Amino acid sequence: MSTASRAPTRQVAAGARPTRRQGEYLAFILLNTRKRGIAPSYDEIAAHFGTTTPSVNGMIKTLERNGFISRVPGAGRTLRVSASSIAAPSAIAVLDTMMPRLLSHGLSDREVIELVLEAAERLKASLEGSGVSDAEALAASRQVAAEASRWQPDGRGTMIPSRTWQKSR
């Protein structure tokens, strides 16, 4: 098997979110790849963003280092956007919008945790159903599930279903 047949994959760090500009690059690469069936060239990306190919190369290296994309070094048009780099931040943005409203209706800690964990499971099932690898789907799901602690009144360590954790003093 040649080395050009598989791109090395790197998982997105938990909690890592692309910057606005990185998100624009990811969206362009993803949409262009879906539309044409092949990843855009560095020249095409540079023309779209009105920048130079060395600048595109720097951004691609940053995106790869952060786990947002994978590619085969030295092979053209092998950019692949990591599903978890798009899906998890999108799901977290939805939670950021929904949860304050739900909390204002008096949900218990347990109900809040169950909602976040259900969102994580649905994201995982959706990603797996769309052909994303199990590892990427699980990574995205874990990122969303980790958000449960943000939506508890006392923060981390209060309660996870079936387990009670005590805060250290």
Domains of the chain plus CATH, in order, are: 18-81 (1.10.10.10), 84-160 (no CATH)
Sign of the dihedral through C-alpha 131, 128, 67, 34: positive
Inter-CA distances, 81 with 115, 142, 158, Å: 28, 18, 35
Percent residues over pLDDT 70 in the chain = 73
pLDDT bucket at 154, cuts 50 / 70 / 90: low
**Higher per-residue pLDDT: 51 or 158:** 51
The string of pLDDT tens digits covering residues 73-87 is 788 888 888 876 677
| Mean pLDDT along residues 57-71 | 91
Single-letter amino acid code for the residue at 1 = M
pTM for this entry: 0.54
